[in-house]
């Protein structure tokens, strides 16, 4: 084990309630691109198509959005060792909660229970009406879409349907934010995994814990916006580093 990893393990052994904060980088080893890399999502899709006001105003934007949603947004991506390590940390009793910016559902797929996750940017699995909020069964909407209904509307009120991913210009889901803030108050350490820590308000989660002097560990393969506040940076791949760190503190 490297000296840095051993030091990180010592810091976390002293902690009782660890919050894990994850970003797109925890899922790249599962084959899902992050936003800003050379293979990033924005090299293939236009961020403007994910602005709420444009989506609501323009059927062409919605038609493009549904074409990226179906047949399956993230293909057959499976959780990797980093997702499993977060679930292991939960099972050990040291994880207070995992706040994720991801919408891919891979934390749940790795066995982390929903009660342990706050999905700040929503989830790519759901579909709901923007007007009345009614949830819709994705399989049924996909069937309608394949049958030619390329801009599907709500069964109940005729409103516009949208994926439950949080779009730009949309407020963060209240319940998830509330839970994340409760964990922030209670945590005595935070580990950020695979995030550039550049998207707000999400980045306030680790920022707040670090600002009051609690342990703040960053695992990332490139510099982040909050490196100067970190107790320690572990530079490299999340799928290699996090499993080693978690087994060192739970063994
Ligand atoms: P980001 O793209 O800004 O940053 C990802 C960071 O992870 C980068 O610094 C990159 O160098 C690093 N990274 C990539 N692969 C890594 C690996 N294997 N190990 C360690 N580090 C790695 O992502 P972010 O900070 O999450 O930014 C925010 C936005 O991205 C969020 O709004 C989120 O909703 C969205 N997003 C989510 C997914 C997903 O659900 N998987 C995918 C793309 C974007």
**Of 35, 40, 81, 226, which is best to mutate to test ligand 1, by the most ligand atoms within 8 angstroms of its C-beta?**
35
Inform me whether the pLDDT recorded for 204 exceeds 80: yes
Q: What mean pLDDT do residues 99-124 have?
A: 96
* Total number of residues shown for the chain: 251
The residue whose two tokens read 């990797």 is: 80
Q: What is the pLDDT of residue 220?
A: 97
The CA 75 to ligand 1 mean position distance, Å, reads 17
What are the structure tokens assigned to 200, written together? 């707000």
Which CATH number belongs to the domain containing residue 27 in this structure? 3.40.50.1220
Domain extent, residue 240, equals 1-32+79-121+172-251
Nearest to 218 by CA among 18, 21, 2, 11: 21
131 and 24 within one domain: no
Choose the final residue of a domain: 138, 165, 192. Answer: 165
pTM summary value:
0.93
109 and 225 within one domain: yes
181 and 238 within one domain: yes
207 and 145 within one domain: no
Q: What is the pLDDT of residue 43?
A: 67
CB 122 within 8 A of CB 95: no
The CA 41 to ligand 1 mean position distance, Å, reads 10
pLDDT digits (tens, 9 = 90+) for 50-64: 899 999 999 999 999
Q: How many folded domains does the chain comprise?
A: 2
248 and 198 within one domain: yes
């Amino acid at each position: 084990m490297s000296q840095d990893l051993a030091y990180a393990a010592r810091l976390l052994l002293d902690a009782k309630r660890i919050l894990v904060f994850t970003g797109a980088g925890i899922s790249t080893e599962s084959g899902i691109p992050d936003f800003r890399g050379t293979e990033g999502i924005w090299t293939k899709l236009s961020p403007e198509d994910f602005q709420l006001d444009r989506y609501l105003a323009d059927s062409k934007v919605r038609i493009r959005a549904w074409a990226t949603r179906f047949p399956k947004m993230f293909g057959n991506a499976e959780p990797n060792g980093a997702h499993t390590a977060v679930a292991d940390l939960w099972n050990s009793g040291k994880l207070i909660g995992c706040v994720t910016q991801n919408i891919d559902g891979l934390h749940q797929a790795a066995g982390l229970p929903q009660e342990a996750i706050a999905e700040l940017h929503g989830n790519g699995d759901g579909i709901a009406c923007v007007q009345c909020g009614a949830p819709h069964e994705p399989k049924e909407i996909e069937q309608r879409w394949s049958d030619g209904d390329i801009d599907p509307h709500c069964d109940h009120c005729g409103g516009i349907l949208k994926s439950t991913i949080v779009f730009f210009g949309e407020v963060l889901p209240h319940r998830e934010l509330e839970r994340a803030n409760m964990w922030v108050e209670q945590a005595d350490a935070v580990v950020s995994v695979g995030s550039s820590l550049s998207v707000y308000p999400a980045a306030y989660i680790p920022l707040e814990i670090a600002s009051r002097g609690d342990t703040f560990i960053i695992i990332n393969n490139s510099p982040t916006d909050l490196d100067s506040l970190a107790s320690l940076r572990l530079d490299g791949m999340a799928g290699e580093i996090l499993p080693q760190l978690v087994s060192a503190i739970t063994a």
